[in-house]
Structures are given as C-alpha cells and as structure tokens.
Homo-oligomer: A and B are copies of this chain.
C-alpha cells in the first residue's frame, strides 16, 4: 500500500462541513435566545440542529470549543463591522470633512454591534479570563489577542486624526492613551446600558459626542441645555 495523500472527501449530501457551521450558528442563536452560556449543551445543540448528540463529536471535542468558535466568529464580525464603518466614513469626501468623523463612525459601529448581539458581546468581553497557571502560560494566544483586533481598529481611527488642528491644542496627548480611554468608555457604556436598562441613559449619539469630545478633544459637555 503506497502512501497516499489524504484527500478531502466530498461532503455528503451538503452536510459535512456544513454541520460544523450549523452547530456554531445554533450555539449563537441559543446564546442570544436564552441569554445564558449554560443553556448551550451538547444535547440541546444536537436537538436544535436536528442531529444526534454523538454526531457533534465529529466536529468538536467539547462544548467549550463550540463556545470558543462562537466568540471567534463574533470577533470577526465585529472587526468587519468596524472596518465597514470606517470605510464608509472616509469614502465620500476623500479628504477630511470633519476630523472626528471616522472615529465617531467606528465608535457608533462598536455600540451598534454590542446592541445587536448583546449576549455575544457579553461573552466576548464580559468573561473574566483568569490567567490560569501562574505567569504566562500563553496557552490560548488567539483568545488573548481577539480583543486587541477591535482595539487596533479604534487605535487606527484615532491615530489618523492626530495631525488635525484639534490635536494641536493637546500637546501631552498620545494616541495609545486616547484609544485606551475611548475603548474603556465605549465598553463601559455598552455594557452598563445592557445591564442597567432602568438608568436614564442618553441617546447613543449624545453619549458618543460627550465621550469623544471630552476624551479626545478636551471639550466640555455638549451643552445639554442647562441654564
């Protein structure tokens, strides 16, 4: 028997790789529907996909692997959304109509994602990662970097407006600190807005104007109409 290159066999009746996708999609749906990670069970997913429970072991060894796939996919989605928002904001005038337009667009897209996929957003950023194993096991490098991709979008948008006049008045500012402060505020707002809906939150636009104005441009509150 000569050594033969293993060839990917054609998917059986459309299934095959599709089952994997179906499982991840079902997990995401289950998460958003129930609002709880522990509603995601092997048997529950199998039921939802319409397959027997052991069939899942062909694609995932673990229910945690499935949740990890959901999270990974969600991070891709977030990155795509931020990218699209940035492109759309920069597109029409080619130059810079207003210095903060792109930053504002990216931030708005971030908040929009968190609102559209609340449970996925919560799992992406709301789970405490205990650095299991002392100093730096680096067992899940991808997991640690996932959030960084979204941050880099934000950082890029902020950096691209550094040369603008509004930045000149803030000689001590540095881009990384700016982006960090902005991310922290965005996440805080997105998270609390979902957790404490009873709070009298302002509109997204108002909140964004406040945060960007103060954190990046050193401007005071956007004249909320108080005497």
Chain A residues close to B by CB (< 8 Å): 35, 38, 118-119, 122, 125-131, 144-145, 147-148, 151, 169-174, 177-178, 180-181, 183-189, 191-192, 194-199, 201-202, 207, 210-211, 214-215, 218-224, 226
Q: Can you show 21 pairs from A to B with CB atoms below 8 A apart?
A: A35-B128, A118-B128, A122-B126, A122-B128, A125-B191, A125-B195, A126-B191, A144-B196, A144-B198, A147-B192, A147-B196, A147-B199, A172-B221, A172-B222, A172-B226, A173-B220, A174-B221, A177-B221, A178-B221, A184-B188, A191-B191
- Which residues of chain B have C-beta atoms less than 8 A from A210's C-beta? 177, 181
Question: Which B residues are in CB contact (< 8 Å) with A128?
Answer: 35, 118-119, 122, 194-195
CB distance from A71 to the nearest CB of B (A): 12
Chain B residues, CB < 8 A from A130? 35
Within 8 Å CB of A198, what residues of B?
Answer: 129, 144-145, 148
Copy number in the complex reads 2
Which chain B residues lie closer than 8 Å to A188 at the CB level? 183-189, 191
Residue of B with least CB distance to A143: B198
Query: How many angstroms between the C-alpha atoms of A151 and B172 in the bound complex?
Result: 30
Assess the A218–B215 pair: CB atoms within 8 A: no
The answer to whether B224 and A214 have CB atoms under 8 Å apart is: no
The listed residue with most B CB atoms (<10 A of its CB), out of A144, A191, A221, is A221
